[in-house]
């Protein structure tokens, strides 16, 4: 089946980003296709390349970035949520004249229309987080 996933929970204070990652891995293992993963609200923090996890904790940002690169998934960070939280790609950084961009490898910044498109083109959609 074609599955799309929305993640909304903060990776630093909620379990949902970890749950969503385990779900996506299990879906691919079962032979399903992931059409898109859409990161919304506090989950856009997963797109930052600048977070540093303590040595004895799992680095969820790195785990997600590795996962979407490994399987060449379409991983979209919501632009409105991202800009508010200081997650910028090169284009947004230059548009708003910010000193740096910090979008991690494997992610794209785009709009909520990408989620509408995912809903239209997927057999199943699942949402993780508050």
Partner 1 sequence: MSTLHIVSSSPFDSNAFSSALKTASQGDAILLIENGVYAAVDALQIDNLMSGAMPDVTHYVLTEDVDARALPRLRNNIAKVDYAGFVALVCQHHNSVSWN
Annotated catalytic sites, by residue? 78
Q: Is 63 in the site for partner 1 (CB under 8 A)?
A: no
Q: Is 32 in the site for partner 1 (CB under 8 A)?
A: yes
Given the rule CB under 8 A, which of 29-37, 78-86, 93-101, 104-112 is the region that contacts partner 1?
A: 29-37
What is the C-alpha to C-alpha distance for residues 17 and 117, in angstroms, rounded to an integer?
Answer: 22
Nearer to partner 1, 14 or 51 (CB): 14
What is the C-alpha to C-alpha distance for residues 14 and 92, in angstroms, rounded to an integer?
Answer: 27
Nearer to partner 1, 21 or 109 (CB): 21
* 19-23: Cβ within 8 A, 24+ apart: 19/128, 20/128, 20/129, 21/60, 21/63, 21/64, 21/67, 23/126, 23/128
Candidate residues 13, 22, 33, 70; the one interacting with partner 1 per rule CB under 8 A: 22
Q: What is the DSSP letter of 71?
A: T
Given the rule CB under 8 A, which of 44-52, 78-86, 94-102, 118-126 is the region that contacts partner 1?
A: 118-126
Q: Is 102 in the site for partner 1 (CB under 8 A)?
A: no
What is the C-alpha to C-alpha distance for residues 114 and 110, in angstroms, rounded to an integer?
Answer: 7
Please give the residue ranges that form the binding site for partner 1 (CB under 8 A).
Answer: 1, 3, 15-16, 19, 22-23, 25-27, 29-30, 32, 123-130
């Amino acid at each position: 089946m074609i599955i799309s996933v929305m993640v909304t929970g903060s990776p630093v204070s909620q379990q949902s980003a970890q749950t969503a990652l385990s779900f996506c891995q299990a879906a691919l293992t079962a032979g399903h296709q992931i059409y898109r993963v859409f990161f919304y609200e506090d989950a856009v923090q997963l797109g930052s390349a600048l977070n540093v996890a303590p040595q004895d904790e799992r680095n969820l940002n790195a785990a997600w970035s590795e996962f979407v690169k490994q399987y060449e998934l379409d991983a979209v960070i919501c632009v409105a949520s991202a800009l508010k939280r200081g997650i910028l790609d090169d284009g947004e950084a230059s548009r708003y004249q910010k000193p740096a961009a910090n979008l991690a490898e494997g992610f794209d910044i785009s709009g909520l229309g990408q989620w509408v498109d995912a809903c239209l083109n997927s057999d199943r959609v699942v949402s993780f987080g508050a």
